[in-house]
Structure 1
Amino acid sequence: MGNYGTHIDAKWQEKWEESKLYKFNKNKSGEKLYVLEMFSYPSGSNLHAGHWFNYGPVDSWARFKRMQGYNIFQPMGFDAFGLPAENYAIKTGIHPKDSTVKNIETMEKQLRAMGAMFNWENEVITCNEDYYKWTQWLFLKLYEKGLAYRKNAPVNWCPSCNTVLANEQVLDGECERCSSEVTKKDLTQWFFKITDYSEELLQKLDELDWPEKTKAMQKHWIGKSIGAEVTFKMADSDLSFDVFTTRADTLFGVTYVVLAPENPLVDKITTEHYKKDVEAYKEATKKQSEIERQSITREKTGVFTGAYAINPINGRKVPVWVADYVLATYGTGAVMAVPAHDERDFAFATKYELPIERVIKGGEGLPYVDPGIMVNSGEFDGMNSEEGRDAIIAKLERESHGTKKINYRLRDWLVSRQRYWGAPIPVVYCDKCGTVPVPEDQLPVKLPYEVEFTPDGKSPLAKCEDFINTTCPHCGAPAKREADTLDTFVCSSWYYLRYADNKNDKEAFNTDIINDILPVDKYVGGPEHACMHLLYARFINKALRDMGYLNFDEPFLSLTHQGLILGPDGLKMSKSKGNTISPDDYIKEFGSDVFRMYLMFGFDYTEGGAWSDDGIKSIGRFIDRVERILDSCRDYIKDPKNSKDSMDKLEKELNFVRHSTIKAISEDMDKMQFNTCIARIMEYTNALSKYINEESKNPTFLKESLIDFIKLLAPFAPHFSEEQWSLLDMPFSVFNEKWPIFNESALVKDEVEIAIQINGKVKGRINIPSGLSEDEIKLAALASPDTQRNIAGKDLMKVIVIKGRLVNIVVK
């Protein structure tokens, strides 16, 4: 195809590298713009089309912003710790470090071949000691502030991967990586106290330029509820438990209560007759994820304990059940059930033939879930729900049976992992001193290379004697290191900070540098991280701010989610399906610009779609056409003898397309609507082609039009545009040029084309001067030969003018 290809890519990539064209200089004039794509995990040896869809179009957007005068900081790195590399090592015998380093080398080459403006001197690789040393420092700082703690807790356990899984990593009761059935296990684990920031994490969302769906997901995950905590005493013992409710007005309608299977109270209150059933139910529950248990569509199940509790508002005995839809980690691990006024409770009560008693008046049937007037509620009858809630809570508080409370669904972040390939947790356990954090000057706690990491249910580091055995930093006595490693989300929770000061060996980052360059202005990545990475990074940012290291509240001011590129079969790409698309062969044939433009033109950026070979061939033909047009003009525009100051009709037409294209692309690029931008460039190409085929051309005007054309094309086809720019004998580089600005006056046409309809059907078109009055337009339309021919011998009934578009002539 034409003269464009990988040799042009290589030529300009070398030139860009030599000239340090894209090197970020914080002292450079222009408004700072930190552009960041979520860094990739080097689990495979090659980039696929999905990586390109994340990185290529964002680079085009950043180039556009650079030409608008912004000082772009666009770093790149690798999220290099984690389970896939370890599982690959177990399968192949290749050490995780070796495979990861090799994959990074390959992916770096591919990313460089993309020709993006990445600031490679700011690269971050999370498995390198110079990075995870500061991840460990972050852990220590959180520990000092009481935001890192250790406790025994039930966790999701994959018996095949032999590690803890986050709730989001359990799909339909199975491990997302190996599909093994997940169970529950009690382990002593490290947690980060993200719940301390529940309210701010919730409130600050409204200030962010993020997709509304993502903000809604985080709001739901944080799950703020305002209500009351009510104490229920057991009927035949001194034991008691608390429930949280947002509907204290329905307390008289409680006909049973439910405990989570993991609630320690269950074993204490279950009667002998029901113990076998309860134990079996508890075992079955261990195989389900918390997300699965909370599903609103899943049929609710439960088992009776044989015990009863006392409703504090009316002294009534109610049965105590165990059900898996109640979670020990959410709220109090117990709920009160009001089946007449809650859909879940109603279904459960109906299934198990439990009483259903209305205490709120409203609606025809049950359950009635809205507020209303209280009935069957003793002294509170006749009150509306809002009054009743306050009055009942006040009574509970007077009698020490309850209190007002705000509750959150969000739980603390479990960060311990029983795997090898991760950052060691910098803690030592001493028989004399207890839990001892490793002093900062002893960081990093290095991850040893020679480790037996075949999974057997224990942390691999626990089997490495050289690592696990140490001395206490306080007293010098023999001690043991923590054998768990940190969740890889800890590594990615702060990487955006390290980029800006990545070579600092004295501190994680210099506060002044970070406060100058951060926060991230535009962040791009997949929506699957809404309730993990994005939430964790926000928490870490706020914690570091409160420690005095940062002066900004949020890490990512604006967020865009790219869509998913599917295989040609319309399914998600995977090696097992054999439908993955590798960019390399296409780039060899067409060059990286054609591949980039196809991704931007063939798919809506936030939607994605199925891959098609035909699409990329079409873009290849388009670039060939552009090259031919530019070649045909080059000699002509060097001879100014036919230049003139005024514009004729053809030049005005091209000038209109030129400036309307500048206006449209400038607006659509800000919204990352790349496909419409390229469509506009194609329209501009057609207009140029039409003009250069005319006999009379203005060389000066044509050169100006070509200069703007190449500038507009440059972000989408950077190598090709740089080549064409140099062939016009323009100074290096096109990306040092200012983005074109449209001229409003050029968008006002001297003439407009309008359609002529006869009885609603188009019968002709005429060009008329802009600014004619309605009567003048009518006369022009009626005088048209097409009109005269079509209305001959007919009665003229009405002439309707729609300015700038059409004239409809009604005849009989």
Structure 2
Amino acid sequence: MRENYDFDAIELEWQKKWSDNHLFQVETNPDRKKYYVLEMFPYPSGDPHMGHVKNYVIGDVVARYFTRQGFNVLHPMGYDSFGLPAENAAIKNNIHPSIWTHDKIDKMRKVLKRIGISYDWRREVITCEPEYYKFTQWFFLQFYKNHLAYKKAGQVNWCPSCSTVLANEQVVEGNCERCGTPVIRKMLSQWYLKITKYAEALLNDIDTLGEWPERVLTMQRNWIGRSEGAYIDFSISGLNKPIRVFTTRPDTIFGVTFFVLAPEHPLVDELVAGTSYQDKVKKFREKISRKSDINRMSETLDKEGIYIGKEILNPLNGEEIPIWIADYVLLEYGTGAVMAVPAHDERDYQFAVKYNLPIRQVIQPLQSDSNEKCYAGSGLMVNSGDFSGLPSEDGKRKIISYIEKEGIGKGAVSYRLRDWLISRQRYWGAPIPIVYCDRCGEVPVPEKDLPVLLPQNVDFQPGGPSPLARCAEFVNTVCPICGEPAKRETDTMDTFMCSSWYFLRYCSPWTDQEPFKRKDVDYWMPVNQYIGGVEHAILHLLYSRFFIKVLKDLKIINFSEPFINLFAQGMVTKGGVKMSKSKGNVVSPREIIQKYGADTIRVFILFAGPPELDMEWSDRGVEGAHRFLNRVWRTVTEVIRCEEDQQVEPNQERMKALERMIHRTILKVDTDIRERFHFNTAISSLMELMNEIIDSQRIFSEKGIHPQEKEILFEAAKTLVSLLNPFVPHLTEELWRALGESSFLSVSEWMTHDEEKLVENQVEIVIQINGKVRSKVTVPAGTDEKDVLQFALKDERVQTWMDQKALVKHIFVPDKLLNLVVR
């Protein structure tokens, strides 16, 4: 055994032994119960930092715990290596994205291996490699063939700096989430996936998920945004087609005082053509194009609009009302048209007040003392023709029946969710496998011709329609149907396409003929425990759920949800803000490992607080974690080296106390890992066990350590080392061998507690006199009523209170209380 805690030598030695013995490699085995642990794979756009380490160390604790519980544990790693993060970093540093990305992957891999994460490294997946994105393209073709992928022109979010389209979820407070540039609206022809077809399934199946953070479920429910209401058709004189609106409040239709179209609505041009409003509309549209969807839909920001010189007919009361265009109505949401009821909708109210438009109450609050200027609740319908006097809920149903009977609308369910826009006008992504032929039109690339390779020799600087459009070698091809010259699609796929199925590829990453082997996916999936940041609550998690539902419908898989349980870890901060290069507050894992070792980093991260909360980096905290590990080393080695003395009497009471602490700690650590993810409290309980070992050894040593005392100290030391192992794998492997074990601790059987040994052998009985606490006595657990009474009557404080008084009766609660009634 080494004399000192040489963390560097210990960690490197055990990592080599794990690798040489293939300790964490697993295979599909239907005879064994499986457990799939997965952390969200990283963007290799920069050097690894402590935020990465926290995520992967949390997952490693779970993987190591379930391995020792006897499960066949799949714990893989890969890299989400396409997309804007890597490409922007490459552009900034004037390095080809492939070179930049692979350099960062190498650095990330080295850090993860040096920290001792228990990955099956054979299963590593890199999404920018042709053997992976070949199947991303294959999945696109399955969507396309089943009418779930389509191309259309529409208003999109455009980042002028990144020169690409952004999904709504990638726009944060009106700015690009990657570079912070204000986003503008632009009309482009783009590729979409029909996620809206699965809106109901995505919403309903939220209730089938296991342990997910409630805030994530709420965010998904709100993003899907199911609304029950009605479509109602309004008509314009001289226009042959009606304008349809969706409303959740058909009971308020008699309160419509103006009508609003999205500025981008295609009918606007027709309505203002040749009128004095045409130029005004054009200028207003240009102004609104610089606003983000988030700002336009804000409940608090000022609303803007203009009247376009036309009126529309309310189909229920025949009233003509003015048509406006306004920033708070978006073409992509609902129908791009709104019947404005300012008395009962806050945004309509703000707009009406600003532009001095009429406000008409048609819902009377049930509470007569309500004086809200804009009342959005239920009540009695008023000023509503034949429907007046009805409760608003009844009114909704009757108005829907009326419009259906008259053929001017219908009851309906609508969703906030929009189809998933996957086109990116960037270089670093999986090419979309479509070609365009003058004779055959839009043609999918045959599956046998996949992958459509991303060319390396490309000017990847953003600009123009797409970097790939400037590469003639890539663009020019032949039609797979007629053989005539054709052009390739030059947009690449959103990187979320790659991350929506990577967890399936881990199950059998070696196959090159299909994305995975069905038998492997049937065994390993779904993921038992998924771990990652809450920032992916909408984008990645929702898209992955959608992907799985499509694959199930196509009979490619047999399950409906990808992740059973989800844990969202907090960030690592320094100076109160998230670590980032731009803020200059990044702490390099490599430097800390070099100074203190991997086990120290692991303990500090896991002990700093509940893992779901943000943790502040602390140099003093790291030093404290290192001192703790040195103390573990000294404690265990002193137990190993202590000498026995058979001539002394063993301290039975202290031995029993240490035994109880052993089993209490086993139960505590087991519960904290399995049920709570409370790694900090688990480590705290191990610190208490260590202190108990130290105190017990000191007490035993005062008279010499009996062999029985040495035995219980040894058991306690082995318990400390065994339970600490998922958190501190290297040091504990070393100490495990020093304690005489020959097996790998990382795959040894997890300890179980003995309920009988948790029972205290001493209990404290409260002594009351006439119902008031007067004393306490300590007796052996299970002492009978007669003996407890004798102990109590001999107690000096009890005798003082009973002076010259007679005992009338007593009330006894075993192991807890004795009440003496005296007069």
| Map of 1:651 onto structure 2 | 655
Q: Is the 8 A contact 1:514 1:550 kept in 2?
A: yes
| Map of 2:342 onto structure 1 | 339
| Partner Cα separation in structure 2 for residue 379 and residue 263 of structure 1 | 33
Q: Cα distance, 1:707 vs. partner?
A: 2.3
Look up the equivalent residue of 1:261 and give its one-letter code.
Answer: P
Task: Report the TM-score when normalising by structure 1.
Answer: 0.94
Q: Is the 8 A contact 1:640 1:700 kept in 2?
A: no
| Map of 2:594 onto structure 1 | 588
Secondary structure at 1:473's aligned position in 2?
Answer: coil
Look up the equivalent residue of 1:623 and give its one-letter code.
Answer: L
Q: Cα distance, 1:346 vs. partner?
A: 2.1
String of CA shifts for 1:342-393, please: whole Å, max 9, x gaps.
2222222222222221222214223222222222211112222222112111
| Map of 2:697 onto structure 1 | 692
Task: Report the TM-score when normalising by structure 2.
Answer: 0.93
Equivalent residue for 1:672, pick from 673, 677, 695: 677
Q: Is the 8 A contact 1:643 1:700 kept in 2?
A: no
| Partner Cα separation in structure 2 for residue 793 and residue 290 of structure 1 | 86
Matched, 1:577 2:588: no
| Map of 1:442 onto structure 2 | 449
Q: Cα distance, 1:295 vs. partner?
A: 2.0
| Partner Cα separation in structure 1 for residue 542 and residue 585 of structure 2 | 32
| Partner Cα separation in structure 2 for residue 515 and residue 220 of structure 1 | 32
| Partner Cα separation in structure 1 for residue 590 and residue 768 of structure 2 | 53
Look up the equivalent residue of 2:351 and give its one-letter code.
Answer: F
| Partner Cα separation in structure 2 for residue 457 and residue 789 of structure 1 | 97
**Shift in alpha-carbon separation, 1:374–1:800, aligned structure 2, 3 A:** farther
Q: Cα distance, 1:246 vs. partner?
A: 1.2
Secondary structure at 2:505's aligned position in 1?
Answer: helix
Secondary structure at 1:140's aligned position in 2?
Answer: helix
| Partner Cα separation in structure 1 for residue 398 and residue 299 of structure 2 | 31
| Partner Cα separation in structure 2 for residue 778 and residue 179 of structure 1 | 76
1:288-437 correspondence to structure 2 within 5 Å: 288-362=291-365, 363=367, 364-365=370-371, 366-437=373-444
Q: Is the 8 A contact 2:400 2:411 kept in 1?
A: yes
String of CA shifts for 1:649-682, please: whole Å, max 9, x gaps.
1111111111111111111101211001001101
| Partner Cα separation in structure 2 for residue 509 and residue 39 of structure 1 | 18
| Partner Cα separation in structure 2 for residue 643 and residue 385 of structure 1 | 87
Comparing 368-377 with 550-559, greater Cα deviation is found at 368-377
Q: Cα distance, 1:237 vs. partner?
A: 3.7
| Map of 2:556 onto structure 1 | 549
Matched, 1:487 2:494: yes
Q: Cα distance, 1:758 vs. partner?
A: 12
Equivalent residue for 1:263, pick from 258, 262, 265: 265
| Map of 1:155 onto structure 2 | 156
String of CA shifts for 1:9-63, please: whole Å, max 9, x gaps.
100000000111111122275310010000011111x311100100012201211
Comparing 511-520 with 718-727, greater Cα deviation is found at 511-520
Matched, 1:143 2:144: yes
Secondary structure at 2:29's aligned position in 1?
Answer: coil
| Map of 2:636 onto structure 1 | 630
Two-structure CA RMSD over aligned residues (Å):
3.0
1:449-460 correspondence to structure 2 within 5 Å: 449-460=456-467
| Partner Cα separation in structure 2 for residue 594 and residue 756 of structure 1 | 49
Look up the equivalent residue of 1:376 and give its one-letter code.
Answer: N
**Shift in alpha-carbon separation, 1:276–1:640, aligned structure 2, 3 A:** farther
| Partner Cα separation in structure 1 for residue 51 and residue 202 of structure 2 | 30
Equivalent residue for 1:620, pick from 612, 617, 626: 626
Q: Cα distance, 1:159 vs. partner?
A: 1.4
String of CA shifts for 1:452-507, please: whole Å, max 9, x gaps.
12222321011111111011111000000111110000010110001111110111
Comparing 310-319 with 453-462, greater Cα deviation is found at 453-462
Matched, 1:730 2:702: no
String of CA shifts for 1:599-618, please: whole Å, max 9, x gaps.
00012100022111111111
Indicate the percent of aligned positions where both proteins have the same amino acid: 47
Secondary structure at 1:107's aligned position in 2?
Answer: helix
Look up the equivalent residue of 1:591 and give its one-letter code.
Answer: G
Q: Is the 8 A contact 2:261 2:337 kept in 1?
A: yes
Q: Cα distance, 1:777 vs. partner?
A: 6.3
| Map of 1:47 onto structure 2 | 48
Look up the equivalent residue of 1:226 and give its one-letter code.
Answer: E
Look up the equivalent residue of 1:165 and give its one-letter code.
Answer: L
| Partner Cα separation in structure 1 for residue 805 and residue 598 of structure 2 | 62
Q: Is the 8 A contact 1:229 1:244 kept in 2?
A: yes
String of CA shifts for 1:188-213, please: whole Å, max 9, x gaps.
11111111111100000111121111
- How many residues of Structure 1 are paired with residues of Structure 2 in the alignment? 807
**Shift in alpha-carbon separation, 1:346–1:89, aligned structure 2, 3 A:** same
Q: Is the 8 A contact 2:645 2:705 kept in 1?
A: no
Secondary structure at 2:512's aligned position in 1?
Answer: coil
Unaligned stretches of 5+ in structure 2?
A: none
Q: Is the 8 A contact 2:255 2:362 kept in 1?
A: yes
| Partner Cα separation in structure 2 for residue 724 and residue 589 of structure 1 | 21
Matched, 1:604 2:615: no
Comparing 719-728 with 317-326, greater Cα deviation is found at 317-326
Q: Cα distance, 1:809 vs. partner?
A: 12
Q: Cα distance, 1:240 vs. partner?
A: 2.5
Comparing 419-428 with 583-592, greater Cα deviation is found at 583-592
| Map of 1:471 onto structure 2 | 478
| Partner Cα separation in structure 1 for residue 498 and residue 56 of structure 2 | 21
Comparing 451-460 with 84-93, greater Cα deviation is found at 84-93
1:212-231 correspondence to structure 2 within 5 Å: 212-231=214-233
| Partner Cα separation in structure 1 for residue 648 and residue 30 of structure 2 | 39
Secondary structure at 1:607's aligned position in 2?
Answer: coil
| Map of 2:665 onto structure 1 | 661
| Partner Cα separation in structure 2 for residue 599 and residue 512 of structure 1 | 37
| Partner Cα separation in structure 2 for residue 9 and residue 334 of structure 1 | 64
Comparing 264-273 with 433-442, greater Cα deviation is found at 264-273
Q: Is the 8 A contact 1:594 1:620 kept in 2?
A: yes
Unaligned stretches of 5+ in structure 1?
A: none
Equivalent residue for 1:242, pick from 229, 244, 256: 244
Q: Is the 8 A contact 2:658 2:712 kept in 1?
A: no
**Shift in alpha-carbon separation, 1:482–1:760, aligned structure 2, 3 A:** farther
**Shift in alpha-carbon separation, 1:151–1:600, aligned structure 2, 3 A:** same
Secondary structure at 1:339's aligned position in 2?
Answer: coil
Q: Is the 8 A contact 1:235 1:317 kept in 2?
A: no
Comparing 200-209 with 382-391, greater Cα deviation is found at 382-391
**Shift in alpha-carbon separation, 1:752–1:299, aligned structure 2, 3 A:** farther
Q: Cα distance, 1:278 vs. partner?
A: 2.9
Q: Cα distance, 1:570 vs. partner?
A: 1.1
| Map of 1:197 onto structure 2 | 198
Comparing 198-207 with 622-631, greater Cα deviation is found at 622-631
| Map of 1:514 onto structure 2 | 521
Comparing 391-400 with 134-143, greater Cα deviation is found at 391-400
Secondary structure at 1:318's aligned position in 2?
Answer: strand
Q: Is the 8 A contact 1:172 1:288 kept in 2?
A: no
Look up the equivalent residue of 1:256 and give its one-letter code.
Answer: F
String of CA shifts for 1:156-206, please: whole Å, max 9, x gaps.
111121111121222232222222222111111111111111110000011
Matched, 1:281 2:319: no
Secondary structure at 2:563's aligned position in 1?
Answer: coil
Look up the equivalent residue of 1:597 and give its one-letter code.
Answer: V
| Partner Cα separation in structure 2 for residue 767 and residue 392 of structure 1 | 76
| Partner Cα separation in structure 1 for residue 30 and residue 345 of structure 2 | 61
Equivalent residue for 2:761, pick from 712, 736, 750: 750
Look up the equivalent residue of 1:687 and give its one-letter code.
Answer: E
Comparing 458-467 with 391-400, greater Cα deviation is found at 391-400
**Shift in alpha-carbon separation, 1:804–1:275, aligned structure 2, 3 A:** farther
